[in-house]
Structures are given as structure tokens and as C-alpha cells.
Amino acid sequence: MSRWKTLPESLDPGVRRLVVRMRQLKDRSGLSLAALAAKTASSRSSWERYLNGKAVPPPQAVEALARVSGTDPAPLLALWEVATRVPDPSDQTSGEASGAASGAALGETAAPSGTRSGTTGGEPGGGAGPEPASRAEGPADEHGRRLGRASLVSALAVVLIAAATALLAVRPWESPEGSASEDASTSASEQRTEPDTPQSTGASPTTYPCQFHVYEDSRYAGHSTTQDAEFGVGSNGEPIAEVQCLVRFHGFDPGPIDGIYGPLTTEAVEAFQRSVGLPADGLVGPMTWQALRDVS
């Protein structure tokens, strides 16, 4: 069992729950950080940051950890959703309005500063009469204000609890009919197109550059160094961008370099396999990797 460092006290509670669960899965797998990096698209230093609360992992890394530990990735992705959710400012506005309405219902009103009531004029020819003292605040007013503040806090708590419950109960990557866990987790990953940041904010799909270089008689495109990992339709992430770049380098069009193993990528892989005498099954395994990285 690994001896983990204590997580920072300032770490967000949602992120803390995610990191604790990821640590448990890493311990269950029995893999070192180096072995974990070899089986996934993230480096050893990236895993060190993710598992010590120094950086929020991207969804691809969360899903990859679940798979190498033999666990359904859907619950872990649900924790990632909660940990990376950006609070909606409208929640606070609605909570303040609710608190104000509660205060009004309890009779909490404020009179304009400096107003006076009950002033009587003096007798004709005489001086003005005595000015009555302003109304003192009574216990009922203070009690109403305290109840108004308590109502505001309660309203905010209800909104936050309801939002967290909805995120845990409704998983957008699962179909209404209850599809297989692998298809569900794949759908969740396809909705998150940004590979290196916790949360994607752009509306357009992510595309990857192809940065070719040769090292020890093998060609690489800058996204993965794997030689034997197996991928097919439904896979996604930087290893798939590596496949797409290499297939395009050999003269076959996989469509946009988006890291998604879709129909165009499958057709390009099959055409490449036929061109080098491999079985055209559209699956990228050790033999196809060797052919893709061949520099001869």
C-alpha cells in the first residue's frame, strides 16, 4: 500500500473526494506511477500531480485510471463532474431574493433614515412644541432580522444540495435504456473534448497538431509513445490523435485530427492495413503500431 502525502487543507472538498478515490484505485491496481504512465496517455509527473492534489486531472486520465484498475469508470467520472462544476452565479442571486422575501414576510422593514412622526406645531404666536423621540428598535425587529438571515442561509444550502444530488443522480453519458458501462463512459469522454485541462469551455471540437519526429528508428507525432496498446471504434484521447497523424502521414485521410476513433479513422486504418499486408480489421494493435511507426 502506498504511503500518500497529506492533501492540502485548502483543497476543494469535491476535488478531495475525487483524489482520495483515485488513490484507492491506484493502490488496488498495484501499479507504480511509472507503470501507470506506461499504460495511459499521461506522464509519471502528471500522475504525481493528480494524485497529490496539485492539479485536477482531465476526464481522459480519470477514465484511464478506472480502466487499468478494472473498475467501471462511470462513478469516477461522476465525481469528476462534481469536482469541476463551476458554481452558477444565479444561485446566489436567487438565494438573496429568497432571503429578502422571507424577511419581508416576517415584517422586517426599514424606515428612511432621519424621518420623524407625530410632530405638533406650537400655539399661534408661541414656539414649536416638543419633538417626540424616534421609535426605538424593539426585540421583535431584531428577531425578524435574524430569521431573515437564517432563511437566506437555508435557501442557499437547499440550492447547493439539490444541484449536487442532480449531478450524482443524472449521468448524461448514460442512455435512458441503460447501455453497457463501456459505451456510457465512452460517451462521457466524447463530451469532453479538451485533453489537457480540467474543463473545456470552447464550443468547437478540439484538434491536435501533428509534430513528427524520429527516435530510435520509430516515427512519433507528439501525442503518444505506445507501441502495443490496442484501440478501436469508440476510443478517444491523445493516443487516437497519434494514430490519426501517423495514418495521414502514410497518405490516408482519417478526417480531422480530433482524437476520436470514428468511422473516418476506421476506414483510413483499414486502408493502411491493406496497403502493408495486414488484416484490415480497423483495430490498432502491436503489428499496426509497428507499421505506422516504421521509418524505412
- The CATH number linked to 48 is 1.10.260
Q: Which three cell numbers stand for residue 77?
A: 467520472
Number of domains in the chain: 3
Q: Is the pLDDT of residue 175 over 50?
A: no
pLDDT in tens, 14-40: 899 999 999 999 898 899 999 989 989
Q: Is the pLDDT of residue 3 over 60?
A: yes
Domain that holds residue 179: 86-106+144-192
- Domain assignment present for residue 28? The answer is yes
pLDDT at 174 (0 to 100): 45
Q: How many residues does the chain have?
A: 296
- Domain assignment present for residue 111? The answer is no
Residues 6+ apart with CB under 8 A from 45: none
- Domain assignment present for residue 6? The answer is no
33 and 43 share one domain: yes
78 and 152 share one domain: no
Between the alpha carbon of residue 68 and those of residues 110, 112, 144, the distances in Å are 63, 67, 57
Q: Is the pLDDT of residue 90 over 80?
A: no
94 and 173 share one domain: yes
pLDDT at 287 (0 to 100): 93
280 and 185 share one domain: no
262 and 235 share one domain: yes
Q: Is the pLDDT of residue 130 over 50?
A: no
Q: What is the mean pLDDT of residues 97-110?
A: 42
- Domain assignment present for residue 80? The answer is yes
DSSP H stretches of helix in 106-178: 139-169
Residue 105 has phi, psi (to 5 degrees) of -65, -25
Question: Counting beta carbons within 10 angstroms of the beta carbon of residue 111, is it exposed (0 to 12), middle (13 to 18) or buried (19 or more)?
Answer: exposed
3-state secondary structure of 220: strand
Residue scoring higher pLDDT (167 or 43): 43
Residues 6+ apart with CB under 8 A from 274: 280
* pTM recorded for the entire structure: 0.34
- Domain assignment present for residue 170? The answer is yes
152 and 230 share one domain: no
244 and 148 share one domain: no
Residue scoring higher pLDDT (145 or 30): 30
Q: How far apart are CA 96 and CA 155, in angstroms?
A: 8
95 and 188 share one domain: yes
Between the alpha carbon of residue 285 and those of residues 214, 228, 279, the distances in Å are 20, 6, 11
pLDDT at 285 (0 to 100): 94
281 and 246 share one domain: yes
- Domain assignment present for residue 163? The answer is yes
- Domain assignment present for residue 56? The answer is yes
pLDDT in tens, 224-278: 999 899 999 999 999 999 999 999 999 999 999 999 999 999 999 999 999 999 9
DSSP H or E segment with residue 218:
strand 218-220
- Domain assignment present for residue 206? The answer is no
pLDDT at 40 (0 to 100): 92
User: What confidence tier does 154 reach under pLDDT thresholds 50, 70, 90?
Assistant: low
Residues 6+ apart with CB under 8 A from 133: none
Domain containing 261 — which CATH number? 1.10.101.10
77 and 149 share one domain: no
Q: Is the pLDDT of residue 122 over 70?
A: no
